[in-house]
Amino acid sequence: MNKISNPKKTDWPEILKRPTQTYDAIEGTVLEVFEDIKKNGDTAVSKYTEKFDGVKLDSILVAQGEIDAATTQVSQELKDAIALAKANIEKFHTAQQTEKVTVQTTEGVNCWQEKRPIQKVGLYIPGGTAPLFSTILMLAVPAKIAGCSELVLCTPPGKDGKVNPVVLYTAALCGIDKIFKVGGIQAIGAMTFGTETIPNVYKLFGPGNQFVTVAKQMATKYDVAIDMPAGPSELLVVADDSADAAFVASDLLSQAEHGVDSQVILVSTSEQLIEEVEQEVENQLNMLPRKDIAAKAIENSKLIYVGSDSEALDLINEYGPEHFIICTKNEDFYVDNVINAGSVFIGNYTPESAGDYASGTNHTLPTNGYAKQYSGVNLDSFKKSITFQKISESGIQKIGPAIELMAEAEGLQAHKNAVTLRLNALKKN
């Protein structure tokens, strides 16, 4: 593992680089697929599914019979676990509901704000080496609470042309309208433009690999909103001598096993803890079924020693981690002062896995430093705010002269006239 001691601030940008390709390196491939789908619809989607996923499908729409069969293939124990997670996610996101905001800004001038659901949303669920059925809960549950009327789900098929049974079971449990066996760039392109089979949507949600992330960003050029640029998973742990090295190592590995392009970082004020964690990572790694994937990600890992908590905090805010675990004696210092983080986990008994599955918080979070300007998925992600105003006769008389002056100062005579006509009409009455 890459150990770094007291790095200079000038070296932080290089040290904290993510192991991902740039947008520019992937843009050409994404654009080619997008243009093909825009022109050729389902035919292009099938072509790229065969090319990228290695499977030729008769139908990309998941049939009801497949969903029914999947339900029987999921153990009752797993169904119960999913139900517990779903209940906690529902509780946390339902609590995020807000009342409409109403205020009289001036006598006779009433303004209010109400939230409305986004009608059509697309949910991307990664497949590949780990079918993330938990992501369905994280996206579909708040979408349903928000009142979205159409939910479209795309997920890559396996080599056998099927979708993992747990994915189908969870999707059906959450009331997904349409499920399609499509992944990668072609899934994002299909939900962006719409095809003969796959509807277009107004907003795209869900994490994915670097190609999916760039595809989502490109979708914004075609009038489709996205939740955030959510790419390969990452975790930063800050820990001191009060931390349990085995716990810390397990958290680092839990993210490392996501994919070879994941990144995990330990920042510590204890050189001894760093040594202990490094040994624990080695010990635990050898016991993992996904050892090869985790080992590759560990190559991108950093063990960083710093001399003080304040320096550690500055480095953490510079990095802006997707997941941020605090295992220190003075945890309040970090909790109160962290600015850039997707989701924060506090204390030795709060593993990142809890947020991934069942604590109730959302695990669809900004990566690649986007925690500096993006929030993780929440209830408001599936809504938009609409403002309303109603002005009485007395109200327009109070604010009208100010509007006239401001419009005239900007050279917008028609704006002024719209007020002047009303004020003159009131003078005649």
Q: Is 114 a catalytic residue?
A: no
Per-residue DSSP letter, 307: S
Which residue is associated with the tokens 């080992």? 295
Marked catalytic residue, from 276, 323, 352, 363: 323
- From the list 322, 363, 408, 410, the catalytic residue is 322
Sign of CA dihedral 254, 257, 259, 261: positive
- Asked whether the beta carbons of 151 and 143 are under 8 A apart, the reply is yes
User: Please, what's the b/e burial string for 187-196 (b: 16 or more CB within 10 A of its CB; e: otherwise)?
Assistant: bbbbbbbbbe
Q: How far is CA 361 from the centre of its chain?
A: 12
Integer Cα distance of 237 and 234 in angstroms = 10
Under 8 Å between Cβ of 178 and 149: no
CB 358 within 8 Å of CB 84: yes
Give the contacts of 144 (CB within 8 A, at least 6 positions apart).
151, 174, 175
Task: Give the strands of the sheet with 2-5, arranged side by side.
Answer: 2-5, 302-305, 263-268, 234-239, 323-327, 343-346
Active site includes 323?
yes
Cβ count within 10 A of residue 236: 25
Which amino acid, 133?
A: F
d(CA 196, CA 42): 6
Compute the distance between CA of residue 70 and CA of residue 179 in angstroms, rounded to an integer. Answer: 13
Sequence-ordered list of residues with C-beta below 8 angstroms from that of 184, at least 6 positions apart, any chain: 48, 52, 53, 156, 208, 209, 211, 212, 215
Q: Write phi, then psi, for 358 (nearest 5 degrees).
A: -140, 0
What value, to the nearest 5°, has the Cα angle with vertex 347 and ends 345 and 351? 50
How far apart, in whole angstroms, are the C-alpha atoms of residue 386 and residue 379? 16
Active site members: 322-323
